[in-house]
């Protein structure tokens, strides 16, 4: 009985800690740096060159890159890009955004999966868990890693510039053709 009370006390303390930590998060839907823009007169090739050289991609650059894959104008303010991604269901409505925050693999995977699912002629379908539970950062990442669109890593890992450009390229090819370039695909061993 004493062990059970101690276990309950630990669970209560853990729940309180999690609730306190949850209170520090930005409110759902909030956009920090809403008026942030891309550098002036930056064409798509110039954007990709600039981003490829970065050690970590920001959410501002990610929003622009995903819209570029769709052939849409990404020159406006960060808030307008996020609003357009919400309309396309490429981002979750509950997410908060910060133009300067590093992009994570989970968020990138979610955005790319949603774009490939809803905006590609053939539409990407996920595995059983993804189809049953709906898209999440974790399962979208697992699906894109399985398909060879994204490299291994965890959902909270920041995305490097070169990886971001490679993922955008693979997503754009899939969106147009329904095929994934074979760069990351596993090859059978003899």
pTM, to two decimals: 0.78
β-bridge partners, 102: 58
Q: pLDDT of 71-111, one tens digit each? A: 888 878 899 999 999 999 999 989 999 999 999 999 999 99
Q: Are 76 and 51 in contact (CB under 8 A)?
A: no
Distances (CA, A) of 147 to 9, 117, 134: 44, 13, 18
pLDDT of 129? 83
pLDDT above 60 for 12: no
Dist. CA 103–CA 59, nearest whole Å: 5
Would you place residue 166 in the very low, low, confident or very high pLDDT band (cuts 50, 70, 90)? very high
Is 189 a residue whose pLDDT tops 60?
no
pLDDT digits (tens, 9 = 90+) for 29-73: 788 888 888 887 778 888 899 999 999 999 999 999 999 988 888
Q: For every residue of 65-87, which 3-state class applies, written as one string?
A: HHHHHCCCCCCCCHHHHHHHHHH
Q: Is the pLDDT of residue 20 over 50?
A: no
Model pLDDT, residue 22: 40
In which band, very low, low, confident or very high, does the pLDDT at 121 lie, cut at 50, 70 and 90?
low
Sign of the dihedral defined by the CA atoms of residues 8, 14, 20, 25, in that order: negative
| Gap between the Cα atoms of 153 and 55, Å rounded | 16
Mean pLDDT, the chain, rounded, equals 81
Q: Given a cut of 80, is residue 183 above it in pLDDT?
A: no
Q: What pLDDT, on a 0 to 100 scale, did the predictor assign at position 175?
A: 85
Least Cα distance to 62 among 5, 6, 115 occurs for 115
């Amino acid at each position: 009985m004493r062990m059970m009370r101690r276990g309950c006390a630990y669970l209560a303390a853990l729940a309180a800690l999690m609730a306190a930590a949850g209170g520090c998060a930005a409110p759902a839907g909030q956009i920090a740096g809403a008026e942030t823009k891309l550098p002036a007169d930056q064409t798509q090739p110039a954007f990709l060159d600039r981003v490829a050289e970065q050690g970590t991609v920001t959410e501002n650059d990610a929003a622009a890159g995903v819209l570029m894959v769709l052939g849409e104008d990404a020159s406006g303010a960060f808030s307008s890009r996020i609003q357009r991604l919400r309309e396309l269901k490429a981002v979750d409505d509950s997410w908060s955004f910060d133009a300067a925050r590093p992009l994570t693999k989970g968020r990138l995977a979610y955005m790319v999966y949603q774009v490939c699912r809803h905006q590609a002629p053939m539409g990407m379908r996920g595995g059983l868990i993804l189809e049953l539970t709906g898209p999440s950062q974790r399962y979208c990442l697992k699906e894109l890693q399985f398909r060879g669109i994204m490299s291994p890593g965890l959902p909270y890992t920041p995305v490097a510039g070169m990886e971001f450009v490679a993922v955008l390229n693979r997503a754009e090819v899939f969106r147009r053709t329904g095929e994934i370039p074979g760069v990351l695909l596993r090859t059978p061993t003899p």
